[in-house]
């Protein structure tokens, strides 16, 4: 065919150009050997360049190899089963779907069969570190707008600690607060409708003062208090009159 177009692959211009260059070199060497070289030399040159051309053509036309599926071990299947069971316990999948996925997981032979079973499940995040509030010598206050973690540890020290929940962002049902009154004491302020559970608090020397109401609003978190009141004591209350006026001004 004219111009060697039959050998050019539109999808691989580099290899096509290499093939054409090979043909040009072959023709030049063949002409240089004609007239002063024996038939054996010409045939050797022809065979060498023919092999090169065939190799290039084979590379151009060969289909890409398919990856070999990796075999799954018993440990791989057990890991997927454990993740599915944990997802069902968290409510991410229901029991019917759990049974279906477990059946597939236990029968899976390759990683490709296991991967779709957990592809739509978010990984479980490790529990966040407790928030530490230490009074030290000068005291410490945690107030304003802040996100409440699942665990809080308050150490009154000498200066005391105040934790104010009235403007927080809290999506938890239960918040664990461990207190140590020390000498300065710990004061906790919660919004109306929040309930504080104090059954696990040791009154120590100064005792516990719980001035909150027992009426819990639907959807509000429960503050579960534990620890020791120490010499400074622990006070739990709702906002006072001045604090309520300040909250009203800030909410406008």
Q: Could you give the CA distance from residue 178 to residue 244 in angstroms, rounded to a whole number?
A: 26
- State how many domains the chain has: 3
* CB 158 within 8 Å of CB 183: yes
Q: Could you give the CA distance from residue 59 to residue 176 in angstroms, rounded to a whole number?
A: 66
pLDDT (0 to 100) of residue 5: 43
Give the other-Cβ count within 10 Å of 185's Cβ: 25
Q: Could you give the CA distance from residue 103 to residue 87 in angstroms, rounded to a whole number?
A: 16
In a domain, 228, yes or no: yes
- Collapsing DSSP to helix, strand or coil, 172 comes out as coil
Q: Which residues pair with 155 in a beta bridge?
A: 134, 180
* Nearest alpha carbon to residue 186 among 230, 144, 240: 230
In a domain, 147, yes or no: yes
Q: Could you give the CA distance from residue 172 to residue 148 in angstroms, rounded to a whole number?
A: 8
In a domain, 90, yes or no: yes
Same domain, 169 and 238: yes
Same domain, 137 and 247: yes
Distance of CA 45 to the CA centre of its chain: 62
Q: What is the pTM of this model?
A: 0.53
In a domain, 67, yes or no: no
Same domain, 108 and 140: no
In a domain, 108, yes or no: yes
pLDDT (0 to 100) of residue 68: 81
Same domain, 146 and 110: no
Same domain, 80 and 188: no
pLDDT (tens place) for every residue of the chain, 252 residues total: 444 444 444 445 555 566 556 555 556 665 665 555 555 555 665 566 566 666 555 655 555 566 788 898 998 899 899 889 988 887 889 999 999 999 999 999 999 999 999 998 876 666 678 999 999 999 999 999 999 999 999 999 999 999 999 999 898 899 999 999 999 999 999 999 999 999 999 999 999 999 999 888 888 999 999 999 999 999 999 999 999 998 888 877
Q: Which residues pair with 164 in a beta bridge?
A: 189
Residues spanned by the domain of 210:
131-251
Q: Which residues pair with 169 in a beta bridge?
A: 147
Same domain, 206 and 182: yes
Same domain, 161 and 202: yes
Q: What strand order describes the sheet that includes 195-202?
A: 131-134, 151-155, 174-180, 222-228, 195-202
Same domain, 166 and 199: yes
Look at phi and psi of residue 40 and say left if phi exceeds 0, alpha if psi is from -120 to 50, else beta: alpha
In a domain, 125, yes or no: no
In a domain, 68, yes or no: no
pLDDT (0 to 100) of residue 9: 45
Same domain, 155 and 234: yes
Same domain, 141 and 223: yes
pLDDT (0 to 100) of residue 46: 59
Same domain, 110 and 140: no
pLDDT (0 to 100) of residue 233: 97
pLDDT (0 to 100) of residue 250: 81
Q: Could you give the CA distance from residue 204 to residue 224 in angstroms, rounded to a whole number?
A: 18
In a domain, 69, yes or no: no
């Amino acid at each position: 065919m004219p111009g060697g177009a039959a050998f050019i692959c539109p999808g691989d211009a580099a290899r096509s150009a290499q093939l054409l260059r090979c043909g040009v070199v072959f023709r030049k060497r063949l002409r240089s050997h004609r007239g002063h070289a024996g038939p054996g030399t010409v045939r050797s040159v022809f065979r060498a360049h023919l092999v090169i051309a065939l190799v290039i053509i084979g590379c151009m036309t060969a289909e890409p190899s398919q990856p070999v599926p990796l075999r799954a071990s018993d440990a791989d299947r057990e890991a997927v089963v454990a993740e599915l069971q944990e997802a069902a316990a968290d409510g991410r999948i229901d029991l019917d779907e759990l049974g279906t996925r477990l059946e597939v997981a236990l029968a899976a032979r390759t990683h490709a069969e296991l991967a779709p079973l957990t592809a739509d499940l978010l990984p479980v995040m490790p529990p966040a570190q407790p928030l530490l509030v230490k009074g030290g010598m000068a005291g410490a206050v945690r107030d304003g707008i802040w996100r409440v973690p699942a665990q809080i540890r308050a150490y009154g020290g000498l200066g005391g600690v105040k934790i104010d929940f009235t403007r927080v962002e809290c999506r938890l049902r239960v918040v664990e607060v461990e207190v140590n009154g020390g000498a300065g004491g710990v004061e906790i302020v919660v919004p109306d409708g929040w309930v504080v559970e104090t059954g696990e608090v040791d009154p120590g020397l100064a005792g516990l003062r719980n001035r909150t109401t027992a009426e819990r609003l639907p959807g509000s978190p429960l503050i579960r208090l534990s620890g020791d009141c120490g010499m400074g004591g622990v006070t739990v209350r709702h906002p006072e009159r001045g604090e309520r006026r300040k909250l009203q001004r800030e909410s406008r």
